[in-house]
Structure 1
Amino acid sequence: MFRVRSVEMFALFDSMFVNADTLISLQILRSEYHPNGHQRGPSASGAKESLSVYGLFQHLARTPQGKLRLRQIFLRPSTDIDLINTRQNTISFLLRPGNADVLMRLTSELKKIKNMKSAIAHLERGVDIPGRRISVNNNVWASLQRFAAYSLRLRDSLQALPGAEGIPIIRKTTEAIRPLPICQVGELISQTIDFEQSVERGRTAVRHGVDGGLDELKRSYDSMEHFLTNVVARLREELPEWARKYIQNCIFFPQLGFLTVVSLNTETGKGNYDGEGMVDAWERMFAAEGCVYYKNRQMKEMDGHFGDAYCMIIDREIEIIHELTIKVLERQEAIISASDILGELDSLLALAIGCGRYGWVAPQMTTENIIYIEQGRHPLQELVVPSFIPNDCHIVGGPGTQDNEGETAEVEAETRQDSVEHPSTFVLTGPNHSGKSVYLKQAALIVYLAHVGCFVPAAGARIGITDRILTRIATRESVARDESAFSIDLRQVSFAMNFATHRSLVLIDEFGKGTNSMDGAGLVAAVLDHFTSLGPERPKVLAATHFHEIFEGGFLAESPELAFGHMDVRVNFDAPTTEDQVTYLFQLAPGRSISSFGSRCAAMNGVNQAVVERAESIMLMLARNEDLEVVCSRLSGAETRRLEEAEAAARLFLETDIKPPPSSSSSGGKKPADTGHWYQEVLGRLLRPDKPA
C-alpha cells in the first residue's frame, strides 16, 4: 500500500549552480553504456560510471545508500562554508595515522550492510526473497539481521575513536543507531528464522521451539518416510500374494496427499495391479516414469488423519513470519534512520579514502572572491600520464556591489588588494597539445571539489566561495537538435554572459573556431572585453584561444583586470625528426605565445610533408603582409613559356583566312576530299608553323 511517510522542504539555495554542459565538459560524472544496444536497456540504470571525478570515489563507497549519497554530494556542491569545513574536518580526522586500522574495519563492516529502505519496502509488500537472483542467504531477513549486527558493531567502533565526539557525522551516527530497537530486531529474527533449514528447503523456515503445533507437524512430516515403510508392509499383507511384487512404495505429495505406487505394464499402459480382489476400488491418479499412482482406502484414511501436513506447515510458518514482520515494522523508523546515517558516513569515508589514496590536500575556504591554487593538478589527467606537470592559478573576481553590506571591512580591503595584484580574466595561449584545456579544467575541478567539501589535487589552495561554474568547452552536437555547432557555442557563451555574477567562474575554451576567423576573433575579443569591463561585478574568467590577431591588433590590451599567459614550449626546427622540433613543457609562463605551431602539430600527427610546407609558406607570406591573391597568381618560368606559346598560336589562328575544302569539279573529277581531315591539316599547320606542309 502506498503511504506518505513525511513531507520535507527541499531547496538548492546553498548549492553551487552547475548545468549539464559543465558536468560533461569537466567529466564530473560520465556514464558508460554497453556497446550492444539490446543489453543496454531502456534506461541508464544498467550503465556504469566511466572515467570521471565521481568515478574516482564511487567504487570506494561500500553501501548502496552510501553510493547514492555520494552522488548527491557531487551533484550538489555546497556554498555553505560551515558545511564545507565540517566535511573537510571529518576527512582530516578519518585520515589521522592513528585511525587507519579503525578506518579499515569500518569499511569492511559497511560491506555487509544494505539499504534498509528497500528491505522495509519489501516487508511492507510481504516479500522476503525479492527476485530470482536473491538467494535465501541474502534475503530480506538475512539483510536485516546483518544490518542489526554490523550497525551495532560500527557504533562501538566509532565510539572507540579518540576525539570522535567532536566530529558531527560520528556523533550523529552514534545517536541515530539506537541499540535497543535495533538489537530487538536482530534478536527477533535470530529467534524466529532458521537460516540453515531455509537454505535446505529454498524458502524461509521457522526455527524449532517457536510454536509447539508447528514443531509437532514438522516431526510428523520428517518421520513420514519411516511411517510410509510400515504402511507399505501392511498393505502388501492385505493384497493377493501374486500382486505384492507390483506394489513399489507409498508416497506423499503436497496437495495430492498419500498415493500407492504400482509398476506400469508397458504393453497395456495400465498398472500391473489396480485393486483386483479388494473390496474398495483403486482410483488411478496419474502415471509417470514407469509407475502408476493410485488412491485407495488406506491412502484416503491417512489423508483424513494426517491432512496435508506440508501445506499446514507452510501456512503456519507464513502466519509466524507475518507476526515477525509486524514486530519488525514497528521499529522501521529506527532502522531507516540508522541506514540513512550510515549511508552519509559511508560517503564521507569514501571521500576520505580517496583523498588519502590520491595524495590530495585540504583547501582553505574563504569568503573572499579569489582562487589561489599552488601546484594544481588535473585529478584525471595525472592518472593516465607517466608524469604530470603542476601549475599555479591566481585570479580574483570583482568585489561586488550587493554583498558589501554584509561583508566586514577587513574582507573588503583584502579583496580589493588582491584584485590589484591578480587579474579577474586570464587569457591562455600556446600551441595545440600544450595543455591549455587541461589547465582550464583542472582549475575548475579544484574549485568544484573544494565546494564538495573534498580535498583537492594541489600543493595548496585558497578558494573563495563560488556560486556558479559556467563553461564553453564541449560542443554537444546531435542530429536531434536543430542547431549548428557554432550556434551551440554561442548559446553556451550567451548563457554565461547572462547568468554570471562576480562570484562565478567562467571557462571559455576555443570560442569562435566554428565560423569565419575574422568573425571568431572579433567575438572572442568582445566577449572577454565584456567580462573585464563589468567593474565590481566582473566574474573570474579563464579563457584559451588561438586568435593571436586580437593581441597583435591591440583589441585586448593587458591591464590589472586582464592578464595573458601561455604554455611554454621549446622549438628547434633544425631537429632531424618532426617529433623533436617542438618540445612541450606543459609549464605555465607569463605573457602570450607568438604562434600556435599548427603546422608542426600537423606534421607530428601524420599530415603529408608537402601540405605542411605549403601551409608554412602561406603563413610566412601572411606574416609579411603580402597580398595572397597576387602571390598565388604569379606564374613560374615554365608556366610563362606555355602561356606565350598559347598566345602565339591564338594570334596566328586569328590572322589566317581558312578556306573551305576543294569541291569534286575542281579536283578533276576525283573523289571529293574528306572535310574533317582537311580542317585537321589546316589546324595542324597553324599550331605547328615550323613543320613543313
Structure 2
Amino acid sequence: MAPHSEHPAEDNTHVRFASSPSHAPQPRPLSSSSSSPDQDWDGTLDETIMALDYRDRKIGCCYLNAIEGKLWMMEDMEESAPWDLVEALRFHVQPSTILLSSRIEESLLDKLEGLAAPTEPAPSSSSSATSGPDSTGFALDIRPATEFAYQTARSRLISLRVGQKEGPRIEFAGAEEGDGQREGLMRLAGWVDVDSKVTVGCAGAVIAYFARRRLIGGIHGDDEFVRVSVNAISMFSMNDYMLVNADTICSLQIFEDESHPNFHMQGRGGRGKEGLSLFGIMNSTRTPQGSLLLRRWFLRPSLSLDILHARHSTLSLFLHPSNLHVSDALCTALKKVKDIGKTLLGLRSGRSGGTVGEWQRMLEFIWSTIKIRGAIEELFQTSENDNALPIIQQITNNFDIPALTTLGTLLTSTIDFDTSSLEHRTVIARGVDDELDNMKHVYDGLDSMLAQAAAQLAEQVPREVAGVLNVIYFPQLGYLITVPAAEEGEAGGGGRRLWEGEGWEFQFNTATCFYYKSVEMRELDEYFGDIHGLIVDREIELVHQLQLRVLESSALLTKTSDICAELDCLLALAESARKFGYQRPRMVEENVIRITKGRHPLQELLVPSIVENDTNLAGGRSTDALRLDGEDGEEGELEVNSAMLLTGANFSGKSVYLKQVALIVYLAHVGRYVINRPSFSSALLARLRST
C-alpha cells in the first residue's frame, strides 16, 4: 500500500494504514528524526596545520593533518639562509595554514605574506594577524611567541600521553613527587628528539591551535574539531629528501594544474585537474590515500639508498612475467579500498553517526585487504631477498587476517545493508538484539491490527462513511482516524468535513483528508506507543555500540590503510614502467650522471619520433677519469666532464635535453624506473627561460 503524496509533515517513509477502497485518500508518510537520506560525510577536516620558527640560525617545523592525526616533527636544521628550506617545507607539506611566531625574521615573514592573500581573521585566531589562502592554498597565522616556548610545548607533548601503552615505560623505585613528569619526559624522549628545541616549540603551537579550534567548535556548536586528536608522533629530517624548489617543480612540469572542465568545479572553491605533467602520466593509483602518498613522493624525492633500492626491487618483483596476474589482482582489490581515515574520523567525532555508505565502504575495505593479503602469498619469488622487501614484510606482519575477518563478520551480521539502502539509514539486522526483534515483530503486524481497528470503527459510523474510513499510524503522531473530505475546496483550504464521530478530536487536515483522535486511538497509543520511534531509538543505541567496537580496531585499520597506500603507489610505478618501457636505474654514491639513450618522458608522448641522447657528467675536476661500468657490465675508464654547454639553433631541442636529464634523475629518486640509468644526486635545481 503506497503512501499518498500530500501531508503537512516532512517527507519520508514509515506509514501504516488499514485496507480501504481505491478512492480513499492515503496520507504522506511522516519523517522520523533519524531517517535522513544517506549522504556521505565530507567534513572540512582535511586540513594540514604547519608551524615554522627560526631562531639562533636553526629552523624548526612541525605539522599535523586533522584526518591522519599524526604529529610530524622535523629535526632542527642549521641554516644561515633559511628561505630555500622554508620554501621546500611548504612544497613538501602542502599546508592549509602556516603558524608563525611573532618574533620570526621579517624577511621570512614578508616573503610568506607575499604568497598569502589577506583576508579577515578566523574565529579561532581573532587576536592574530591572519592571511587567507591564495592559489597555493595556505593561510598565514601569526601567533604570540609564548605559544612557541620550549618548556610549555614540552609539557603539552607529555600531556598527550601518546603511545603510553605501546611505548617504553620507565618505573622509579620511589613514588616521589614529580616522578610522573619525569616518566612522561623519558617516554617522550623515546618518541621524539627533545633536543630539537625549535621544533618542539612548533609542536606546542600546533597543539595549542587545535585545542583552540576544539574549544571554539564546542562553544558555537560546530563539533568538527572537538574529536581531532594526536594519534601518533613521528620525526622526519629534510636531509633525507632531495632539495627541490618551486622553480624546479614548475620548470620540469612535475605538476601541472588545469582548470576543471566542469564549470561548477572551477574557481577558488573548486577542484583543479592534473594536466600534462610527470605526476599526471605516472599516477594510475586506485585509492585516494595512494594518490596522496604518490604526490608526496613526487614532492619529496628520497635520498635514502635503502629506500630507493627497496622500491626498485619491489618494482622488479611486480614486473616479473610470472607475477603479472598477481599485480592485476592487487590492482583490482585496491579499487575497493577507500580512505578509511575519514570514515574513522567521522565515527570518532559522531558527526556522521555511521551512515550506510560509510559502513559499506568499511566492509569493502576489510574484504579487499584480506584479498590483498592472499594475493601477496601468490607472488613468484624472483630472488631469495624478495620476502625481505619492506612492503611484503609490512603486509605479512600487519594485515591481521583473524581480526579483520572478525570485524567484517561483525558488520555483516549487525547491519541489514539491503534494508538500510531502502530506508536511507542504518538498520540493524534481525537476530542481533531480542528487544529490537520483538518491537519489529509488533511493527510488522500493524497492518492487520489497523485493519481490525478500522473494521470495528466502521460498525459505529454511517454506511457512506464506513467504506472510506481509515486507521493509520504516523511515527511521532501515533494512531489516527482519517476521513476524506466531502468535496474538494479552495486551493490550500481543504474540503468540507464529511462526517465526525462523537468524541473524536480533530487533529489537522489536508486538501483531501481530515485526521482525528478517538478513545480507541489513544488506547492504541498507550498500548503500542510510538513503535517506529522506539525501533529507531534502539537501533541508534546499537549502532553506537557498533561504532565503539569498530573504533577499538582503529589502529589496525589505519595501519592497514597506510600500507595499502604504499602498495598502490608501487603498483602505479610498476604499471607506468611497463607501459613506457622504462628500466631499473643503478644508484651509486659517486657524484656522477650517466644516461644512455635517454628520452624525455613527456616530449615522447607528444611527437611521432624522438632522438635518444646520452649524458655523462661527473663532479670534480674535468680532467679526472672515472671508472664506470660499461654496457656489458665490465668496468672501464671513461673521460667525463663536470659541466656541459649546449649550443644550437632555435627549436633544436636544447631545452628538451636539459629537462630530460633532470627528469630522469628526478624519477630515479622518486623510486621508479627511468628511461635509462642515472646516479645519485642530493639536490636538483632548475630554471628555464627562453628569449
TM-score range, shorter chain: 0.5 to 0.7
Partner of 1:453: 671
Cα 1:354–1:289 change in 2 (3 A) is farther
Distance 2:287 2:614 in 1: 37
Picking from 239, 253, 260, the partner of 2:474 is 253
Alignment of 1:310-325 (within 5 A): 310-325=532-547
Picking from 662, 674, 681, the partner of 1:466 is 681
Picking from 58, 63, 66, the partner of 2:287 is 63
Distance 2:570 2:332 in 1: 15
Report how many aligned residue pairs link the two structures. Answer: 451
Partner of 2:108: none
Partner of 1:539: none
Query: Are the equivalent residues in 2 in contact too, given 1:360–1:455 (CA < 8 A)?
Result: yes
Partner of 1:545: none
Partner of 1:427: 645
SS state at 1:239 partner = coil
User: What CA deviation, in whole Å up to 9, does each residue of 1:115-138 have, x standing for no partner?
Assistant: 1111111111225578xxxx84xx
Picking from 44, 52, 59, the partner of 2:277 is 52
Alignment of 1:540-579 (within 5 A): none
SS state at 1:471 partner = coil
**Offset at residue 151 of structure 1 (A):** 0.6
**What is the one-letter code of the residue matched to 2:605?**
L
**What is the one-letter code of the residue matched to 2:681?**
T
**Offset at residue 329 of structure 1 (A):** 0.6
**Offset at residue 244 of structure 1 (A):** 2.6
Picking from 373, 383, 401, the partner of 1:179 is 401
**What is the one-letter code of the residue matched to 1:250?**
V
The answer to whether the aligner puts 1:26 opposite 2:268 as a matched pair is: no
SS state at 2:242 partner = coil
Partner of 1:331: 553
The answer to whether the aligner puts 1:124 opposite 2:348 as a matched pair is: yes
Identity %: 40
Distance 1:41 1:218 in 2: 50
Alignment of 1:343-492 (within 5 A): 343-398=565-620, 421-458=639-676, 461=677, 463-474=678-689
User: What CA deviation, in whole Å up to 9, does each residue of 1:32-71 have, x standing for no partner?
Assistant: 123687642425x61121111111122x111111111111
Cα 1:238–1:112 change in 2 (3 A) is same
Query: Are the equivalent residues in 2 in contact too, given 1:95–1:352 (CA < 8 A)?
Result: yes
Query: Are the equivalent residues in 1 in contact too, given 2:488–2:496 (CA < 8 A)?
Result: no
SS state at 1:440 partner = helix
Distance 1:420 1:244 in 2: 106
Query: Are the equivalent residues in 2 in contact too, given 1:263–1:292 (CA < 8 A)?
Result: yes
Partner of 2:380: 162
Distance 2:322 2:545 in 1: 46
The answer to whether the aligner puts 1:15 opposite 2:236 as a matched pair is: no
Gaps of 5+ in 2: 1-226, 630-634
**Offset at residue 19 of structure 1 (A):** 0.7
**Offset at residue 432 of structure 1 (A):** 1.3
Cα 1:194–1:288 change in 2 (3 A) is same
Gaps of 5+ in 1: 401-409, 475-509, 514-693
Query: Are the equivalent residues in 2 in contact too, given 1:396–1:418 (CA < 8 A)?
Result: no
Cα 1:175–1:411 change in 2 (3 A) is farther
**Offset at residue 421 of structure 1 (A):** 1.6
**Offset at residue 180 of structure 1 (A):** 2.5
User: What CA deviation, in whole Å up to 9, does each residue of 1:187-244 have, x standing for no partner?
Assistant: 1101100101111211110001111111111122122122211111100112244543
**Offset at residue 29 of structure 1 (A):** 1.0
The answer to whether the aligner puts 1:98 opposite 2:322 as a matched pair is: yes
User: What CA deviation, in whole Å up to 9, does each residue of 1:53-105 have, x standing for no partner?
Assistant: 111122x1111111111111111111111211111111011100000111101
User: What CA deviation, in whole Å up to 9, does each residue of 1:409-435 have, x standing for no partner?
Assistant: x999879x9998222121111111111
Distance 2:239 2:636 in 1: 28
Picking from 367, 383, 404, the partner of 1:149 is 367
Question: How does the TM-score come out when normalised to structure 2?
Answer: 0.62
Query: Are the equivalent residues in 2 in contact too, given 1:271–1:291 (CA < 8 A)?
Result: no
Query: Are the equivalent residues in 2 in contact too, given 1:128–1:141 (CA < 8 A)?
Result: no
**Offset at residue 359 of structure 1 (A):** 0.4
The answer to whether the aligner puts 1:114 opposite 2:338 as a matched pair is: yes
Say which structure is richer in helix. 1
Cα 1:322–1:143 change in 2 (3 A) is same
Query: Are the equivalent residues in 2 in contact too, given 1:84–1:451 (CA < 8 A)?
Result: yes
Distance 1:267 1:288 in 2: 10
Cα 1:372–1:3 change in 2 (3 A) is same
**What is the one-letter code of the residue matched to 1:421?**
E
**Offset at residue 274 of structure 1 (A):** 4.5
Distance 1:216 1:470 in 2: 71
**What is the one-letter code of the residue matched to 1:265?**
A
Query: Are the equivalent residues in 2 in contact too, given 1:372–1:393 (CA < 8 A)?
Result: yes
**What is the one-letter code of the residue matched to 1:470?**
L
**Offset at residue 259 of structure 1 (A):** 0.9
SS state at 1:9 partner = strand
Distance 1:311 1:156 in 2: 44
Q: Mean alpha-carbon deviation: is it higher for 160-169 or for 69-78?
A: 160-169
User: What CA deviation, in whole Å up to 9, does each residue of 1:380-411 have, x standing for no partner?
Assistant: 111111111111111112279xxxxxxxxx99
Cα 1:399–1:155 change in 2 (3 A) is farther
Distance 1:8 1:111 in 2: 29
Distance 2:625 2:448 in 1: 90
Partner of 1:5: 231
SS state at 1:7 partner = strand
Cα 1:178–1:153 change in 2 (3 A) is same
Partner of 1:685: none
Larger radius of gyration: 1
The answer to whether the aligner puts 1:89 opposite 2:313 as a matched pair is: yes
Distance 2:488 2:618 in 1: 100
**Offset at residue 265 of structure 1 (A):** 2.8
**What is the one-letter code of the residue matched to 1:425?**
A
Cα 1:207–1:399 change in 2 (3 A) is farther
User: What CA deviation, in whole Å up to 9, does each residue of 1:247-271 have, x standing for no partner?
Assistant: 4311111111111111113377555
Distance 1:242 1:102 in 2: 74
**Offset at residue 7 of structure 1 (A):** 1.9
Query: Are the equivalent residues in 1 in contact too, given 2:290–2:568 (CA < 8 A)?
Result: yes
Distance 2:328 2:241 in 1: 32
Query: Are the equivalent residues in 1 in contact too, given 2:662–2:684 (CA < 8 A)?
Result: yes
Query: Are the equivalent residues in 1 in contact too, given 2:621–2:642 (CA < 8 A)?
Result: no
Question: How does the TM-score come out when normalised to structure 1?
Answer: 0.62
SS state at 1:348 partner = helix
Alignment of 1:271-286 (within 5 A): 272-276=497-501, 278=502, 280=503, 282-286=504-508
The answer to whether the aligner puts 1:208 opposite 2:433 as a matched pair is: no
**What is the one-letter code of the residue matched to 1:437?**
S
Alignment of 1:567-646 (within 5 A): none
Partner of 1:553: none
The answer to whether the aligner puts 1:239 opposite 2:457 as a matched pair is: no
**What is the one-letter code of the residue matched to 1:189?**
L
Distance 2:251 2:681 in 1: 18
Distance 2:439 2:261 in 1: 55
**What is the one-letter code of the residue matched to 2:379?**
L
Query: Are the equivalent residues in 2 in contact too, given 1:368–1:411 (CA < 8 A)?
Result: no
